């Protein structure tokens, strides 16, 4: 699975992993090398799907940068990294342009739509949510 989250290969592997969640009981382990590219995107998508808000998703995602690179949460560097990475990711999930305001977007709805665009049917999405909520 490459790190280009917009590639067909990434989307195909993501779909495969999400269907695995629908077809199997927890626990699930989602990982990559540092938790900020493949896993970061996947977990941001899952958090959105499960109803997390932007602040929760950004905080969770940015822990990788705090832990690996010792970026201080209140710093300008933290804000720049967040805008250039996780906010970009959320806009991709929401199918918005890079400069779009995402603050009024219902992330749970756009996560559902993103999964449907991957070819995952509503029943499987409901099962994914159910399995993740246990």
Q: What is the pLDDT of residues 11-34, one digit of tens each?
A: 999 999 999 999 999 999 988 776
Over the chain, what is the mean pLDDT? 93
pLDDT of residue 1: 75
pLDDT of residue 99: 86
Query: Quick check: is 89 in a domain?
Result: yes
Query: Quick check: is 3 in a domain?
Result: no
Cα–Cα distance between 77 and 83 in angstroms, integer?
10
Place of tokens 């695995």: 20
Q: Quick one: how many helices (H) and strands (E) in the chain? A: 7, 0
pLDDT of residue 35: 65
Query: Quick check: is 18 in a domain?
Result: no
Query: Quick check: is 16 in a domain?
Result: no
Query: Quick check: is 77 in a domain?
Result: yes
Query: Quick check: is 78 in a domain?
Result: yes
Q: Give the side-chain half-sphere CA count within 13 A for 85.
A: 24
Which domain range does residue 58 map to?
A: 33-132
Query: How many structural domains are present in the chain?
Result: 1
Residue 72: strand, helix, or coil:
coil
Cα–Cα distance between 113 and 110 in angstroms, integer?
5
């Amino acid at each position: 699975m490459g790190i280009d989250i917009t590639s067909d290969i990434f989307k195909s592997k993501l779909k495969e992993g999400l269907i695995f969640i629908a077809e199997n009981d927890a626990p699930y382990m989602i990982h990559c090398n540092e938790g900020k590219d493949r896993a970061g995107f996947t977990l941001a998508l899952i958090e959105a799907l499960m109803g997390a808000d932007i602040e929760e998703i950004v905080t969770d995602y940015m822990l990788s940068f705090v832990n690996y690179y010792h970026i201080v949460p209140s710093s300008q560097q933290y804000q720049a990294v967040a805008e250039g990475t996780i906010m970009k990711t959320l806009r991709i999930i929401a199918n918005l342009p890079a400069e779009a305001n995402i603050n009024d977007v219902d992330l749970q709805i756009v996560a559902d739509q993103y999964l449907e665009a991957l070819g995952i049917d509503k029943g499987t999405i409901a099962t994914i949510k159910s399995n993740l909520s246990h």
